[in-house]
Amino acid sequence: MAVRTPLYLNSGNLKEMSTTMVDNIIDQIIYQYSLNPSVTLSVVSSGGNLGTITDTRLQAGTHATSASSTPPESGTGEPTVVTVNYDKISSSSATVSPTSDTGKTWPVYRTSTNDIQAMTLQDVKDTFLHPAIDLLTSGSTGTQQAGTYHISTSSSVTGSTEVSGSNTPIFLDTGANTSAYSSGSIPETLDQPQTLTSYYLQRVNGNDNAYTTPMFITGANDLQVYTTTNFESLVQEWIRYTAASSTDGYAISYNINGTGTNRGSGIVDQRLNGSGNYQTRFVNANDYRAQEFPNGTLTTINTYFLKINKS
């Protein structure tokens, strides 16, 4: 591993960048990634390849009737679990063909013999790209994670953009709406859910930070400051390629509850834990009814995390 210190033009002189300057370049690389991420998540209606998240809730049990007397609790159906699967997140990776190193492609640095040498691709990885991936795949969701995704319980998150564009949740944690059940309405509709929490897929927005442009060796073997257009295009290609296709442990991927770092809110499946709220109804002397409604306390059945991973 060789982390280099790039040179920049300082009032007509060559000077080594400070750590802050290098960090600013890394931030700019992250910003460039955010402009066109190579590993993307999208919200689909179903069939998303990131896996299935299950929401469960209780619904009322089947009712019982009698023409002579009120059915006993044992005669009614127990509340059952309704399961809804969500597979609304799909991941894809772009195929990127970045610019090859000509030997003079990358920024220059001062060697131990006080000469000037162009960075190798490995130098660039060690100095810029891999630190950028490290930041991108961290658990935070600030601008240094721009272009990556996280889960929120709100459709609007400052500094992020809701991915579907239409505030389409990728998961609804639902539960039985106990207040919707009424004994006077037995037989009540079995499944009368309510949404407890909606979960949205968010992408972190980038920040076009200021940075100092390094220098490179021209075709005439002179030293020249990159144009911002050229430098940003070059690093965008390579951060996109690294994120999508790195073979040395820095490719970005997402999963649910797999390996990696949690991103955003955990997706919680809650469900009432009661054994049933037995209710009866006297309609007339020939019509007696009973039913168990969902009851209990909301209990976390499962928690799912969107994870970001580098591998």
Based on the shown chain and the rule CB under 8 A, indicate whether residue 12 belongs to the binding site for other proteins.
no
Based on the shown chain and the rule CB under 8 A, indicate whether residue 128 belongs to the binding site for other proteins.
no
Based on the shown chain and the rule CB under 8 A, indicate whether residue 284 belongs to the binding site for other proteins.
no
Write the single-letter amino acid at 213. T
How many whole angstroms from its chain centre is CA 147?
10
Based on the shown chain and the rule CB under 8 A, indicate whether residue 190 belongs to the binding site for other proteins.
no
Kindly tell me which of 108 and 136 has the beta carbon lying closer to other proteins: 108
Based on the shown chain and the rule CB under 8 A, indicate whether residue 121 belongs to the binding site for other proteins.
yes
Return the residue of 42, 105, 127, 174 that touches other proteins, per CB under 8 A.
105
Kindly tell me which of 67 and 220 has the beta carbon lying closer to other proteins: 220
Residue in 242, 231, 249 with CA at minimum distance from that of residue 94: 242
Return the residue of 114, 166, 247, 286 that touches other proteins, per CB under 8 A.
114
Place of tokens 């499962």: 302
CB within 8 Å of 237: residues ≥ 6 apart:
96, 98, 99
Residue pair 62/279 in contact (Cβ under 8 Å)? The answer is: no
Based on the shown chain and the rule CB under 8 A, indicate whether residue 234 belongs to the binding site for other proteins.
no
Based on the shown chain and the rule CB under 8 A, indicate whether residue 118 belongs to the binding site for other proteins.
yes
DSSP string, 200-259: EEEEEPP--------EEE-TTS-EEEPPHHHHHHHHHHHHHHHHHH-SSS--EEEEESSS
Looking at residues 72 to 101 of the shown chain, list those that interact with other proteins (rule: CB under 8 A). Answer: 101
Q: Least separation, in Å, of the C-beta of 101 and other proteins?
A: 6
Q: Which residues bind other proteins (CB under 8 A)?
A: 101-106, 108, 111, 113-121, 123, 217, 221-223
